[in-house]
Structure 1
Amino acid sequence: MSTPASPNGAERTDGSSIRIGALVPLTRPGWVEAGRHLLAGLELGVREVNEVGGISGRPLELVIRDTAADPHRAEAAVDELAGLGVAALAGEYHSVVARAAAGRADALGLPFLCSSAVLDALTEQPTEWVARLSPPQSRGWQVYADFLLGAGHRRIAVAAQPSVYWATGTSILRDHLAARGGTVVELDMSALTPADVCDELADNRATALLLLVGHPDPAVPIVRSVRGDQRLAGILIGAPAGQPEFAEWATSLGDDGAGVPFLRYLPEDLSPLGARVEKALREQLGEAPSFVAYEGYDTVTVLADVLRSHGADRARIAESWPRVAVVGTRGQIQFSRAPGISVWQWAGTPIQVVDRDPAEPGRFRILHAS
C-alpha cells in the first residue's frame, strides 16, 4: 500500500491505510533471530486485523525499519516514521535501542508501544507517550534471583560486557541477593578470556555463572569452556536475558546448551487465543514461536483495540493507555503507573524461569514462575 498517511497521524476517511511504524532488529549486530520472531508476531496480528475489515474499514499497515541494535539508527527511524505520518510506533527488542527510540518518540509526541525491551528507565522523565508490554528489568531479574536462592545458590559470578543493560542487571542481582545473604562477583569480559573465566570461577568457589554477554560471542565460547573444565562440573550456567530461548542457541551448543535457566514471559498454560496464535506462528516461522513472537502479536492486538476505540490521532492514542483492557495471548493487558517506571506498564506480564531439558534439549522445563 502506497497511500501516504497524514503527517500528524490524524483521522482519514478515504479508505487509506493506518500506518504503524515497526522497529525491529533484522541485521547484525542486532539479535536477528529475536527480530524475526518479533516481526512474525507483528505481521500475524496485522494480517488478522485486516482479515476482519481492518480499523473501521481501513487496512492496518506496518512500515518496518531495521534498527540493527543501533540506538542512533533507531532515533533516525523514529524521525523518518514520524514524518511519514504513522499513527504510532511498535516493537523493538534491544533495551538500549528501545530507550533511544522511546526518548525520541516522547520528544516528537509519537505514541510508542514497546513490545520487548525491559530497562526500567525507558525514558529519562515520566512520559504519557510510551507504554510497554514486557516486564521491567527490576521485576524479572528479581524473580531470577529468587530462583537462584531457592536452588541453593549464594555465591554467584556474572560474566558481563560493558552495557547499561548488563550493568543494570548486575546491580539488580547484587542488591536482591545481598539482602538475602548472597554475593555477586563480576567478571569483566572486556578483559578476560573464556579460560580466564574458568579460573576465576574456581578461585571464587562460585556455584553459578550468569552470562550477561552477547550471543554468539562471547556466550558460546564461555559455555564451551566452562562445560569442558572438570573443576566446574557442578556449576550452574544461567542466562537471564533469554539467549537459550532461540534455536540458534541449541544449534550452536547442542547438549552443552541445555540446563541453562533463562527468563521468558509466558504463562504456564496458553489461553485458547494463545494456542491458536501459537499454531499460526509455528506455521509462519517454521519452528516453535518464542515469547518474543507473542509480544509482537499482543502489541498489534492492543494498538488495534485502541485505534478502533479512539481513532488514529496520536494524542488520543497516548491518552488511551490507562483505559486499555485487552485480552492478549498471555492474559488480560492493562497499563498502569508503577514506582520507578517512567512509562505506562503492563503489570501483569507472566514471568517464568525456564531451561532446555538436558534429557531432551528441544523441550523446555519451567523451573520457577511468578
Structure 2
Amino acid sequence: MSASVQIGVLVPLSRPGWAESGRHLLAGLELAAREVNADGGIAGKPLELIVRDTAADPRKAETAVDELAGLGVVALAGEYHSVVARTAAARADALGVPFLCSSAVLDALTEGPTDWVARIPPAQSRGWRIYADFLLKEGHSRIAVAAQANVYWASGTRILREHLAAHGGTVIDLDLSTLTPEAVGDELAENGATALLLLAGYPEPAVSIVRAVRGDRRVAGILIGAPAGQPELAEWAAQLGADAAGIPFLRYLPDRFGPLGARVGTALREQLAEAPSFVAFEGYDTIAVLAEALRAHGTDRARVAASWPHLAVEGTRGLIRFSRVPGIGVWQWAWAPIQVVDRDPVEPARFRVRHAP
C-alpha cells in the first residue's frame, strides 16, 4: 500500500507547449497540495503530485496517462492545451481514471458523455460568445480571424462566426498556413475589418503578427484581440514591449477576490516572483476540489468520479459545483467568472477590465 495519496499531474513545461502557462498551473497545483498536507493530508496520508510534462503533445499526454494509471494514481489533474487535454480525457475515460481538467476549454473535451471527467474552466462556447459580445459592444462587426489549423482554433472560429452572424456581424478567415505576418497586414488593408483576432500559437506566429500589424500604417487603428489569453502572462509583455498593450483577451477571474482568493493570490505571487495568472488560480482550485472529493468519498477511483455532482467546494474564484451543461460531455463548473481584459497602454503591467457580463 502506498505511503501517500498520489495524483497524476499533466502540465506543459517545455516547448512547443506554452511553458509559462504550465509553470503557473503547476504553481497553483503545488501550493494547494502543500496546504492540504499542512492540514493533515488525506486520511492521514500526504498528498503527492506525480508530474509529467506534456509539451503540448497529445502523444506524450496519452503515454503519461497510461504510465500514471499504472502507477496507481487516484486521479489525474491539470493540462492547459485543449488538444492535449482532449487526448488525456479520452484515455482517462477508457482506463477508468478520474480526470479533473484545470485549464482547457474546448467544448468537445470528450466525444460523448462521461462520468470520469470534470472541468474547472468555462467551456469555450460560453467564454468566446462573451468575447464576441464585447466586440459588438465596442462597435466591431467585421472581424478578421488569423487562425492556425487545429480543432481548438476551428472551434473558436465557429463559435465567433455563429454568434456574430446572429447579430449582423461578419468573420473573415485569414489562413496562417499560407500567409506571412506581413501578408496579414495586406489582407486587413483590403478587407475592411476593424478587428483582428489572433487564433495562433505563442510565441510564434502570434508575436510576429502583432509586430507586423502594429507597424503597418495602413491598419493603424485596427483592434488586435487574443481571446485565448496569450497577453495574460509576463512573457508576452517582455516579447512585445509597448506593442503588448491594448490586446483584449479572456481571463477567468472575479472582479474582486474574497478572503481565500486574496490569500492564495499573495502566496502565488511570492512563489512565482510575479503576478499570478488566472491559470495559477485554476491549478489551486483543481487540487482543492480533488482533496475534498478524496476526503469525503475516499480514494477509490470510481467513487471519486461518482462524487463530481455532489461536491460544493469554496474555490479562489467562487463556489465550485459541477453540473451537466447541454452540449458538454463532461461534468462542468458552469459559472466560473469571465472577464475581457487587456494591458493598459499607459501602464502595461496593469490590466484593465474591458467587459464583464
Q: TM-score by structure 2 length?
A: 0.99
Match of 1:155 among 110, 117, 142: 142
CA distance, structure 2, for counterparts of residue 192 and residue 336 of structure 1:
42
CA distance, structure 1, for counterparts of residue 290 and residue 115 of structure 2:
15
Q: Deviations for 1:41-62, whole angstroms, at most 9, x for unmatched residues?
A: 0000000000111112110000
Does 1:115 pair with 2:102?
yes
Does 1:106 pair with 2:90?
no
Q: Deviations for 1:3-31, whole angstroms, at most 9, x for unmatched residues?
A: x64xxxxxxxxxx1000000000010000
Does 1:329 pair with 2:322?
no
Match of 2:233 among 246, 253, 265: 246
Does 1:284 pair with 2:271?
yes
Q: Deviations for 1:164-196, whole angstroms, at most 9, x for unmatched residues?
A: 000110000000000100000010001001111
Does 1:168 pair with 2:155?
yes
CA distance, structure 2, for counterparts of residue 177 and residue 82 of structure 1:
43
Give the ranges of 4+ consecutive aligned residues of structure 1 lying more than 6 Å apart after TM superposition.
Answer: none
Match of 1:61 in 2: 48
CA distance, structure 2, for counterparts of residue 120 and residue 298 of structure 1:
20
Q: Over aligned residues, Cα RMSD in angstroms?
A: 0.6
Match of 2:25 among 38, 43, 54: 38
Match of 1:257 among 230, 244, 249: 244
CA distance, structure 2, for counterparts of residue 220 and residue 316 of structure 1:
45
Does 1:21 pair with 2:8?
yes
Residue type of the alignment partner of 2:182:
A
Match of 1:311 in 2: 298
CA distance, structure 2, for counterparts of residue 229 and residue 320 of structure 1:
54
Q: Deviations for 1:100-155, whole angstroms, at most 9, x for unmatched residues?
A: 00000000000000000001010111000000000010000000000000000011
SS in structure 2 of the partner of residue 255 of structure 1? helix
SS in structure 2 of the partner of residue 297 of structure 1? helix
Does 1:82 pair with 2:53?
no
CA distance, structure 2, for counterparts of residue 201 and residue 126 of structure 1:
41
CA distance, structure 2, for counterparts of residue 45 and residue 325 of structure 1:
17
SS in structure 1 of the partner of residue 326 of structure 2? coil
CA distance, structure 2, for counterparts of residue 99 and residue 223 of structure 1:
29
SS in structure 2 of the partner of residue 360 of structure 1? coil
Alignment of 1:297-308 (within 5 A): 297-308=284-295
Match of 2:167 in 1: 180
**Unmatched segments (≥5 aa) in structure 2:** none
CA distance, structure 1, for counterparts of residue 180 and residue 64 of structure 2:
36
Residue type of the alignment partner of 2:100:
L
Paired residues in the alignment total 357
CA distance, structure 2, for counterparts of residue 85 and residue 253 of structure 1:
44
1:79 deviates by: 0.5
1:231 deviates by: 1.0
Match of 1:203 in 2: 190
Does 1:134 pair with 2:115?
no
CA distance, structure 1, for counterparts of residue 132 and residue 98 of structure 2:
33
Q: Deviations for 1:250-309, whole angstroms, at most 9, x for unmatched residues?
A: 000011110000001000001100000000000000000000000000000000001110
Identity of aligned residues (%): 74
SS in structure 2 of the partner of residue 106 of structure 1? helix
CA distance, structure 1, for counterparts of residue 159 and residue 96 of structure 2:
31
**Unmatched segments (≥5 aa) in structure 1:** 6-15
SS in structure 1 of the partner of residue 307 of structure 2? helix
1:369 deviates by: 1.0
Residue type of the alignment partner of 1:236:
L
Q: Deviations for 1:229-254, whole angstroms, at most 9, x for unmatched residues?
A: 11111100000000000011000001
Does 1:48 pair with 2:35?
yes
CA distance, structure 2, for counterparts of residue 61 and residue 216 of structure 1:
32
1:348 deviates by: 1.0
Match of 1:272 in 2: 259
Q: Deviations for 1:69-93, whole angstroms, at most 9, x for unmatched residues?
A: 0001101100000000000000000
CA distance, structure 2, for counterparts of residue 17 and residue 277 of structure 1:
24
Match of 1:92 in 2: 79
